[in-house]
Structure formats: C-alpha cells, structure tokens
Amino acid sequence: MDKNLQEEEFTQIIKFKPSLNKQRHQFVRDLVEKYKPKKVADLGCADCSLLRMLKFSSCIEVLAGLDICASVMKEKMHTLSPLPVDYLQPSERSLTVTLYHGSVAHKDPCMLGFDLVTCIELIEHLEESELKKFPEVVFGFMAPRIVVISTPNSEFNPLLPRVMLYRHPDHKFEWNQAQFQSWALETARCYDYSVEFTGVGHPPTGMEKIGFCTQIGVFVRKHPQTGESVQAEKPTEAVYKTVFKAVYPSLKDEKYLQNAVIGEVMFTAQIIKHRLMSKCEEYGDDPEKKSKFQPSMDCFSDYLGKLVIEKNMEPFVSGNEVYIPLARIFSFPKVNRLCGTFEKLCKLIAGKVTLSSDGSAVMLNTEPENEDN
Ligand code: SAH
C-alpha cells in the first residue's frame, strides 16, 4: 500500500484508549509499584493530576510538585488536601505533599533526597538555555535513584489528526527517536546512570518502526548515594517558593495514634462485654453452665478473689461493672498492631479510659451500650 495513503487513512482513526495522558500516568504508577520509592518529585507538574494519582500509592511518604507556572498548579491544588475520611481513619504511613513554584533550570535544596523524579511531557516545553541546564539540575544535583522522562515522538506526528508542526503551541521542539535517545544516552553517560527506552501509545500494526507516540526514558543511577551525604555536599540557597503544603494525618503522629487506640480499645471492650452479657443471659439460670464461662462469679465480693481474676484474661462482672482485662484487649490483632507493646497500650490510654483500681482492666457499665449515656 502507498505509504502516504496508509498514513492518511490512519489520521482518521488514531485515538488512544485510555488517553495518552492516562497511559503516561499509569506508566509512572507501575514504576512506583516496581521500585517502591518513598520520596517522589514531579517536575512540570502542571495541574497536579499525576500527584493526585500518586498520593494513593502507599509506599510514598513525600510527594513534591514543581512548576514554573504557579497559576496552573493553584487551580486544583486544593484536591491534594486531606479529606475528612483521612482524619477519621488516619493512615499508617505519613504523607506530606508540597508544591513549589520554580524552574527546573535552577537548583534548590528542597529537591534533594528524592528516590524518583518524574518529568512527564516537560522537556519539550524548555527553552534551549533551560534544556542545557536541566541535566545538571536533575541528574547532577537532585541525583535521585530513578528519573523518568517522557516526550513526544515526532515520527508519530503524521498519524495524529490536526498536528501541523508540534503537538502543542508551547512546545519548543519535538524529537524523533534517534534524537531523544542520543540526548538521553549522553546524559546518562555524563551522570553515571543507565537508561532504558520504552513508551506508551502503540503504533498501528505494520508501522512499528515509527515507535511509540510518547517516548519514555527510564534512568537508573548506577551507584547508591545516601541522602545525608548528598545534602552535606551540596549547599545551595532556596530559590523555589512553596505554594502549597499538606501534612496528612498519620498514625505515626502520637496524637492520631492515641485517638485511634482509644477508639479501638473501647470498640473491642464493647464487643467483649456484649459477648459476656449475652452468655450471662443465656446461662443465667443454670449454675453449672454459668460456672464454665465465669468460674468466679460468686466471689466478686471477695477482694482477694477479684484481684486474682483481674490478672486473668477473662472478663467478669462485679456489681454494675464489667471488667475487661487489658491483656485480653491487647490480644486483639488491631489493638496489638496499633500499639506494638502492652506498655505502649497502657501509656496511650492512661487517663483517657476508665480502668480498674490497679489499671489492669477497662471498666464498663453493665447496662446495654445505648443506655450507657
Ligand atoms: N507533567 C504534566 C504536563 C506537563 S505540561 C502531566 O503529566 O500532565 C508542561 C509543564 O511544564 C507546564 O505546566 C509548564 O508550566 C511546565 N514548565 C515549563 N517550563 C518549566 C520550567 N522551566 N520549570 C518547571 N516547569 C516548567
């Protein structure tokens, strides 16, 4: 088939599903799943859509966005704030999201110590002078373990409807595969990274040579570096302006952990009480059965007997109170996981939960829960 005719036909039908933008972001997400970075910076983050997706990756604790255009970042930055549910159920990981206004042509210490730096459809927006400085800033100064760079593949343009010179009026250039790969290989060589090429947006069958619609280079640093040594060696002045910062509620923060533990302790205690009271009702008239689940029910008035029971794991009733040993509550997996140690449990609930005189059991009223108040 005549090549021009073939391409002409394709201009009518090339449409990516999911959209190229979604495919690029999914590519980054897969990379995050593979490498599990803790700190990720997105350069040229625009409307923060990639950051919005990445905040759900549970390995990430620090997310940063940088863009030279403050207004585009500000448009939707509120969507990066914690939601009410984040406060109701704080996550086990900590997460801080920060947006900076500045240029990738400038170094700022806030960009040190990242594990992954993403530059999705950024480099083609850079002026020649900025593009020259970019490798030194990203690979020389920031020096993350991984850098991912995506950019349009100009060889694909004839297949795209309505593309005349470039895909976007702000693009300063668009490279073919050879141009991108030689720039990337030279950059990798200079800064001691390896680079692999891939992309998203498959070419039509029979036209594989033109490559992916979006070409991607994944750079991996060849030698490990510790965050501290990097920072110590690279004193620079702060030039970026912070335009947004959100610290998510996390169980790593003692005040959220305490709330969560108290909630879980009371919930667990109510469950144990409920089970005990149901058994009481069920076996209440049968002294033989009663003694099986509550062997010392008849010796509550005996102070010594009560002490013995309090050391036990079994809940018991005395007068109008139900005593649920903390040791029993601690044996519940969620409480156990939240606190780690029995001592920590005691410390976190001290003064916040009504305990028996020796502090070994949670005390609840025997009345049904909804009549407690
Ligand atoms: N990464 C985005 C799209 C990027 S569009 C996404 O995945 O959807 C390119 C972005 O780079 C624009 O928001 C533009 O403002 C920003 N940009 C251009 N020059 C820049 C520079 N020198 N430093 C930082 N950001 C720049």
Residue 86 near residue 111 (C-beta atoms within 8 A) = no
Residue 150 within a domain: yes
For a substitution probing ligand 1, which of 54, 122, 173 has the most ligand atoms within 8 Å of its CB?
122
What is d(CA 127, CA 167) in angstroms, rounded to the nearest whole number?
16
Nearest protein Cα to ligand 1, atom 16? 44
Q: Examine the domain organization and report whether 179 and 216 are in the same domain.
A: yes
CA of 150 to the centre of ligand 1 (A): 12
Q: Examine the domain organization and report whether 191 and 62 are in the same domain.
A: yes
pLDDT confidence of 293, banded at 50, 70, 90?
A: very low
pLDDT confidence of 104, banded at 50, 70, 90?
A: very high
| DSSP class per residue in 272-314 | HHHHHHHHHHHHTT-HHHHHHH-TTGGGTT-HHHHHHHHTSSS
Complete edge-to-edge strand list for the sheet that includes strand 361-365: 316-318, 321-325, 361-365
Domains held by the chain: number: 2
- Is the pLDDT confidence value at 72 over 60? yes
pLDDT confidence of 300, banded at 50, 70, 90?
A: very low
Residue 346 structural domain: 254-282+305-365
Q: Examine the domain organization and report whether 181 and 275 are in the same domain.
A: no
Identity of residue 353:
V
pTM of the shown model: 0.84
Instruction: Report pLDDT for 260.
Output: 95
CA of 197 to the centre of ligand 1 (A): 21
For a substitution probing ligand 1, which of 25, 27, 52, 67 has the most ligand atoms within 8 Å of its CB?
67
Q: Examine the domain organization and report whether 242 and 259 are in the same domain.
A: no
Q: Examine the domain organization and report whether 120 and 200 are in the same domain.
A: yes
Residues enclosing ligand 1, CB less than 6 A? 21, 43-46, 49-50, 66-69, 72, 103-105, 120-122, 125-126, 130
Q: Examine the domain organization and report whether 37 and 139 are in the same domain.
A: yes
Q: Examine the domain organization and report whether 236 and 266 are in the same domain.
A: no
CATH classification of the domain holding 103: 3.40.50.150
pLDDT confidence of 236, banded at 50, 70, 90?
A: confident
CA of 173 to the centre of ligand 1 (A): 14
Q: What is the pLDDT of residues 153-163, one digit of tens each?
A: 999 999 888 88
Q: Examine the domain organization and report whether 272 and 139 are in the same domain.
A: no
Q: What is the pLDDT of residues 313-332, one digit of tens each?
A: 899 999 999 999 999 999 99
Identity of residue 89:
Q
Residue 131 near residue 184 (C-beta atoms within 8 A) = no
Would you call 113 helix, strand, or coil by DSSP?
coil
**Average pLDDT, stretch 364-371?**
76
**Assigned token pair, 17:** 């599903």
pLDDT confidence of 369, banded at 50, 70, 90?
A: low
Q: Examine the domain organization and report whether 180 and 242 are in the same domain.
A: yes
Phi, psi of 324 (to 5 degrees): -115, 110
Residue 50 within a domain: yes
Q: Examine the domain organization and report whether 186 and 262 are in the same domain.
A: no
